[in-house]
């Protein structure tokens, strides 16, 4: 009996699921730090998980939205929020900012690859496809932080975030241009963005900040 063949649509769905869960986890941790109730947790987790992909689909005029096409994810998200609330009440968890950054970094890499590839499949130019990847990867976290009454980390922590996604998107474009297997292109793009973000977090690498009144 031959093993089942994993086609590209299955692979892309798996990447979307993994990225959605990673960003949902970051939203749960952010909401728990703010001591939100179960409704607040579901909203923040949902915005984190679906916000970037929804904006991408709106800009690309892509219907149905990816979370509408996979409506079971909504049930999974609500179940995850309820389970997280029960688990967090039973044991103390260190809900630090750094704890949120690691699942966020994983979601960044996966959504970068997926968002860029979706735009390339839609026939978008390379620069537009890369920006769609950045939007998919970054906008959910921006919405999460805004709802939690925080300046979005992507804008203020000075560690490369959108830049990591931007580089990962170009890796996807290059892999597609070189006619690499699609699984290899997704892996290369996601890994590049993920490793760059993890390296920035680990080393404390920061981008220059705008300083008012700085001497020229």
pLDDT tens by residue, 78-119: 887 777 777 665 555 555 556 667 777 888 888 899 899 989
Is 76 a member of any domain?
Answer: yes
Is 177 a member of any domain?
Answer: yes
Is 3 a member of any domain?
Answer: no
Rounded Cα distance, 51 and 8, in Å: 24
Q: Which residues contact 151 (CB under 8 A, 6 or more apart)?
A: 145
Weakest mean pLDDT among 1-15, 82-96, 197-211: 1-15
pLDDT at 34: 80
Is 33 a member of any domain?
Answer: yes
Whether residue 76 is predicted with pLDDT greater than 70 in this model: the reply is yes
Residues 124-160 as b/e (b if ≥16 CB within 10 A, e otherwise) read bebebbbbbbbbbbbbbbbbbbebbeeebbbeebebb
- Tokens describing residue 150: 């925080």
pLDDT at 2: 40
Question: Bigger pLDDT: 180 or 20?
Answer: 180
Is 67 a member of any domain?
Answer: yes
Is 216 a member of any domain?
Answer: no
**Residue whose C-alpha is closest to residue 141's, from 77, 29, 55, 49:** 49
- The domain total for the chain is 1
Stretch 15-25: mean pLDDT: 77
Is 212 a member of any domain?
Answer: no
Residue 80 structural domain:
8-203
Give the burial class of 81: count Cβ atoms within 10 A of its Cβ; 0-12 exposed, 13-18 middle, 19 or more buried.
buried
pLDDT at 94: 53
Is 93 a member of any domain?
Answer: yes
């Amino acid at each position: 009996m031959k093993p089942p063949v994993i086609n590209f649509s299955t692979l892309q769905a798996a990447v979307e699921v993994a990225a959605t869960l990673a960003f949902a986890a970051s939203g749960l941790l952010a909401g728990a730090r703010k001591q939100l109730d179960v409704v607040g947790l579901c909203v923040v987790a949902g915005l984190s998980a679906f916000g970037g992909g929804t904006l991408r689909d709106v800009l690309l005029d892509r219907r149905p939205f990816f979370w509408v096409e996979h409506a079971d994810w909504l049930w999974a998200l609500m179940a995850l929020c309820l389970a997280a609330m029960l688990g967090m009440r039973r044991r103390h968890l260190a809900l630090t900012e750094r704890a949120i950054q690691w699942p966020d970094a994983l979601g960044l890499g996966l959504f970068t690859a997926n968002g860029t590839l979706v735009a390339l499949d839609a026939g978008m130019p390379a620069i537009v496809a890369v920006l769609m990847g950045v939007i998919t990867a970054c906008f959910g976290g921006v919405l999460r932080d805004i709802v939690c009454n925080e300046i979005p980390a992507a804008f203020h922590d000075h560690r490369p975030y959108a830049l990591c996604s931007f580089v990962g998107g170009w890796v996807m474009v290059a892999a597609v241009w070189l006619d690499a297997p699609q699984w290899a292109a997704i892996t290369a793009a996601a890994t590049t963005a993920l490793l760059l973000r993890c390296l920035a977090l680990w080393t404390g690498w920061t981008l220059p900040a705008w300083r008012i009144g700085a001497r020229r």
